[in-house]
Amino acid sequence: MAEMEAALLEIIKNHAVGLTGPLTRETPVSDLGIDSFAVVEIIYEVEEKLHVEVPFNANENPFGEMKSVGDLIDALQKLAKPA
């Protein structure tokens, strides 16, 4: 899972336009400066590179109650686990 976490951090970092410091699990989602277009790009990249299907509804906040990058990583790792 460490490889997946590193890959996810890299994907998020590449789209985080508001980031002023290092990207860590503790980084607040609100500090990333990610807009709706970047969310779609991130989802596409995660699905393509990590082979994880991410359910997405454009009418809902994709981050939901997620407050930190660690919350995002944990949610994506749960999606990657076999049922």
Instruction: Spell out the domain ranges in the chain.
Output: 2-80
pLDDT tens for each residue of 8-57: 899 999 999 988 889 999 999 889 888 878 888 888 898 898 888 887 66
Confidence at residue 50, expressed as pLDDT on a 0 to 100 scale:
85
DSSP letter for each residue of 7-72: HHHHHHHHH-SS--S---TTSBGGGS---HHHHHHHHHHHHHHH-------TTS-TTTT--BHHHH
Query: Which of residues 26 and 2 earns the better pLDDT score?
Result: 26
pLDDT at residue 71 is higher than 70: yes
Instruction: Just give the CATH number of 2-80.
Output: 1.10.1200.10
pLDDT tens for each residue of 40-54: 888 889 889 888 888
